[in-house]
Structure 1
Amino acid sequence: MLVIADSSCLIALLNVGRLELLEQVYGAVVTTPTVAKEVKKELPSWISIIDVQNEAIHTSMRQQLDPGEASALALAHEVWEPLLILDDLAARKVAEKLNFPIIGTLGVLEEAKAQGIIPAVRPLLEALKAVNFRISKVLEDRVLARVGEL
């Protein structure tokens, strides 16, 4: 499995000082140069930056999505067993139509708790909200219920 991160997760976890959770949960993570540029901060060495090779798919994706998400989805077409980390609803819908497995930033937190990397999701969820990461109340409650913190 190759984990491909879009900018929203990278930015959110950087903003709360917990980017290392991605490495702890998944080991290596990859992204594209477009996503790396959107992040606007230097990424650690365990995040590989890989160019999209198939420009036709990339161009097609850009007609539906913004550049970072388009590049992440285009890269997913080029690798074996991708797992996309996407928060944007439109990008998630495209990924689902293409049968790509997806997880969001909150799913990463759930997985971190399940693996015993963090003791609780709620404090990080609150920290994300404090840095303007948008989470609906319905989604917040659903996540907290799944991890036994509601």
Structure 2
Amino acid sequence: MPNIASILKAEISRVARKEVRAEIETLKKASVAHRSSIAELRRQVNSLEKELRRVAKGAKRPSTAVDSDNDAAAGTKRRFSASRLTAHRAKLGLSAASYGQLIGVSGQTIYHWEQGKARPRAAQLENLAAVRDLGAREIAERLTTR
């Protein structure tokens, strides 16, 4: 004759498993719904970011008819080229740290500029232009005085 306690225990565990299974099903359905809504929201955010970049890019472009008076008042607009920076530093035979010392930045910053990971600010562009105008002797003098 089976023990009534073991039968009762087995029945309770069976009913509990059935209840847990039902609860887990509803949680799974909710989870799937949440995941799909999250994916849709991500797609919307990506499209909005893309649109924002496109609009910002269009807004940053200056008009083609620029007065020469504006250029003179604002100073000449400096352009930056990573390959030219690398070529100039190689021509002088300087390390990135030494070249950075001339400009007032670190050697790591020079590497980032050369690799295109970063761009110099306006004041740093002016310093770059000033260093480009110097000769090899003047550069050597500046490096020895610092």
Give the TM-score normalised by structure 1.
0.21
Give the structure with higher Rg (CA): 2
* Higher-helix-fraction structure: 2
Of structures 1 and 2, the one with the larger relative CO (CA 8 A, separation 6+) is: 1
* Higher-strand-fraction structure: 1
